[in-house]
């Protein structure tokens, strides 16, 4: 089984890159399942039903969430009714939506888990206990399990990789929008990378117009950020795994430029 995991998709530029590149990747690389982090789809912060649907229409099978999932209140009923859109599992009980789901593929079921870290983040419930709960729930339902660890600290992401090694197929980090070069197969058969990077405009500061972010850093006054548009790239990984055991056998880091049509 081949899994395509894509980093934080930022704004319209990221959505257009997904629409143009994912169908081709699915065909050329014989991809069986696609997961992307979707918490930055709408204007660079948050997600809405229509922006998520654009990715589903492009061939993305599941979207994971993060701390910006709740930015647009109109997404709340969408989270309740759309099983392909996840939010972090370790928000307190009563939060709308779900943080773990099983998806069917021709090669067998795939479990997806969305988690939120706590270091330099909101004081949510423990993601490590959350991972244990999710893996218990998925036992007997899906051998292949993908975990998105959405957090700031590289140490916390790395810790999650070791925590579930041999129990999950893939652990990838999201949130920083900066890709790391440490992809590997851990001893227990879990494919791991600290951060996928973003799918979006790289001539920016983590997806936002660089001039606006610089104004914020230098002037220390509130600034309204807008997504950038230039140097759009798709970033992520392709993982090969055994659907019978859930063990990963190969991991490849992706960097693909997207040349937008002149009309954009």
Q: What is the pLDDT of residues 21-76, one digit of tens each?
A: 999 999 999 999 999 999 999 999 999 999 999 999 999 999 999 999 999 999 99
Residue 246, Ramachandran bin (φ over 0: left; ψ between -120 and 50: alpha; else beta): left
Among residues 222, 163, 229, 170, the alpha carbon closest in space to that of 201 is found at 229
Rounded Cα distance, 248 and 231, in Å: 32
Rounded Cα distance, 158 and 244, in Å: 26
pLDDT score for 230: 94
In eight-state DSSP terms, residue 45 is S
DSSP element (H, E) containing 35: strand 33-37
Average pLDDT, the chain: 96
* Residues 1-11 pLDDT 10s: 999 999 999 99
Paired tokens of 88: 């972090």
* Residues 191-226 pLDDT 10s: 999 999 999 999 999 999 999 999 999 999 999 999
Catalytic site residue 72? no
pLDDT score for 155: 98
> How many Cα atoms within 13 Å fall on the side-chain side of residue 205?
11
pLDDT score for 159: 98
pLDDT score for 1: 98
Residue 263's pLDDT band, with cuts at 50, 70 and 90, is low
Paired tokens of 159: 């810790």
Rounded Cα distance, 94 and 84, in Å: 19
The active-site residue, picked from 68, 150, 163, 175, is 68
Contacts of 69 (CB under 8 A, 6+ apart): 39, 46, 47, 75, 79, 87, 88
Mean pLDDT of 240-256: 98
């Amino acid at each position: 089984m081949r899994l395509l995991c894509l980093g934080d998709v930022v704004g319209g530029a990221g959505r257009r890159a997904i629409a143009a590149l994912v169908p081709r990747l699915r065909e050329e690389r014989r991809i069986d399942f696609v997961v992307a982090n979707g918490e930055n789809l709408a204007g660079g912060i948050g997600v809405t039903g229509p922006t998520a649907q654009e990715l589903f229409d492009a061939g993305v099978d599941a979207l994971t969430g993060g701390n910006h999932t709740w930015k647009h209140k109109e997404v709340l009923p969408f989270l309740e009714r759309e099983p392909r859109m996840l939010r972090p599992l370790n928000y307190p009980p009563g939060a709308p939506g779900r943080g773990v789901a099983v998806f069917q593929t021709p090669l067998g079921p795939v479990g997806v888990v969305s988690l939120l870290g706590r270091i330099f983040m909101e004081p949510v419930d423990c993601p490590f206990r959350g991972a244990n709960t999710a893996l218990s729930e998925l036992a007997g339902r899906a051998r292949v399990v993908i975990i998105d660890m959405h957090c700031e600290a590289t140490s916390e992401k790395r810790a999650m990789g070791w925590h579930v090694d041999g129990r999950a197929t893939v652990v990838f980090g999201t949130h920083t929008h900066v890709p790391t070069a440490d992809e590997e197969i851990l001893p227990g058969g879990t494919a791991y990378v600290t951060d996928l990077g973003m799918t979006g405009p790289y001539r920016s500061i983590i997806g936002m117009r660089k001039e606006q972010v610089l104004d914020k850093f230098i002037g220390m006054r509130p600034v309204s950020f807008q997504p950038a548009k230039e140097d759009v790239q798709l970033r992520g990984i392709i993982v090969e795994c055994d659907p019978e055991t859930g063990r990963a056998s190969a991991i490849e880091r992706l960097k693909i430029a997207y040349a937008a049509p002149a009309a954009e």
